[in-house]
Amino acid sequence: MISFVLGVEDLADTRFALSPLHETVLSLRVLRDPSLSALHLPWRRSVLAVIGALDTELLMSLVGPRRTLPDFLTPRPVTFAAAFEDELAVVRRTDPDLVRRDLLAAHAPDPVPAALREAADGDDASVAALRDAICALLRRYWELAIEPGWPRMRLVLEADMTYRARRLAVGGARLLFADMHPNLRWHDGVLHIDKMISRHRVTAAGRGLLLVPSVFSHKPAPPVSPEEPPMLAYPSRGVATLWAAAPPADATALASLIGPPRARLLGLLEEPLPTVEIARRLRVTPSAVSQHLRVLYATGLVTRARDGRQVLYRRSELGDRLAAR
């Protein structure tokens, strides 16, 4: 079990961040072990078809036998949504001693695989060269495996953060963590993360808690090292629909009347949905959705209601009758 002791100031400094680098690194576990998530099998099949030219031996060696990952590859995000290149630049500056420590820890108590032997036997220059090779490999892997789907992933993650922020506002930390994952338990100012290989307790001591929703996390993933400040990657909501096909264009008279984009949008609004979630399901930008929603609202085909900090849209009675034709 890993525990985070959070004081009042730490709870006040609890925040969220998006991390394309975290997603890139965490996806390696799914790539190596497809049994982790059947939801990602379509993604995995498509990725295996395009990464054949990469050094997959080195890539897969980054995942330990117990699915642990080196902490230096997932540095703490310093902004809400950093660019992948900016995060990778932080990794490139990692001290060789820290690189060595984290690579060995990710595989302990087993020896590191052959692709990482420099981490165990090499001097600082050799470890730095290994670090740079890993960064170059991750950059190419990001371009092939993650970047094409990142806009869709980001919409899923932003929708999750909106939901979590509302839970925090309504019920505090207890409600925030209540349905995040069965392995998480909040009690008396301490966040307990069960079923972890490591066993340590980290006192935040004013450093706050950083929450990073993740498409590829199958369970809560704090840093392996107790020296790292409190951070938690956790499974995002909405992943089940991430790789589903977009709704087909409506070829009925409704599409001829109001246009295919608005017809598809109206078809989704049988249930109340926020703009970000609609955009994610239709795989378009939120701004494009907002333009269509303004027209549908002005013509009385949808209604809207505020729920916390977001606005939910739903078909009106008139919209229901029109969509049923």
Length of the chain in residues, anyone?
325
CA-based R_g, the chain, Å: 22
User: Within the chain, which residue ranges are assigned CATH 1.10.10.10?
Assistant: 253-323
DSSP 144: I
The contacts of residue 177 (CB under 8 Å, 6+ apart) are 184, 185, 186, 191
Which two tokens mark 212?
A: 């990073």
What pLDDT was estimated at residue 318? 87
Rounded to an integer, what distance in angstroms lies between the CA atom of residue 86 and that of residue 80?
Answer: 12
Rounded to an integer, what distance in angstroms lies between the CA atom of residue 273 and that of residue 251?
Answer: 23
The candidate with the shortest Cα–Cα distance to 2, out of 218, 178, 195, is 195
DSSP 279-298: HHHHTS-HHHHHHHHHHHHH
Instruction: Select from 1.20.1050.10, 3.40.718.10, 1.10.10.10, 3.40.50.300 the CATH code of 253-323.
Output: 1.10.10.10
Edge to edge, what strands does the sheet with 210-214 contain?
Answer: 15-16, 210-214, 231-235
The candidate with the shortest Cα–Cα distance to 96, out of 60, 49, 132, 150, is 132
What pLDDT was estimated at residue 149? 92
The contacts of residue 285 (CB under 8 Å, 6+ apart) are 279
Q: CA–CA distance from 187 to each of 88, 197, 228, 233 (Å)?
A: 36, 21, 22, 19
Which parts of the chain sit beneath pLDDT 50? 249
Rounded to an integer, what distance in angstroms lies between the CA atom of residue 59 and that of residue 70?
Answer: 12
What pLDDT was estimated at residue 199? 87
In this structure, the number of other CB atoms found within 10 A of the CB of residue 268 comes to: 18
- DSSP reduced 3-state for 4: strand
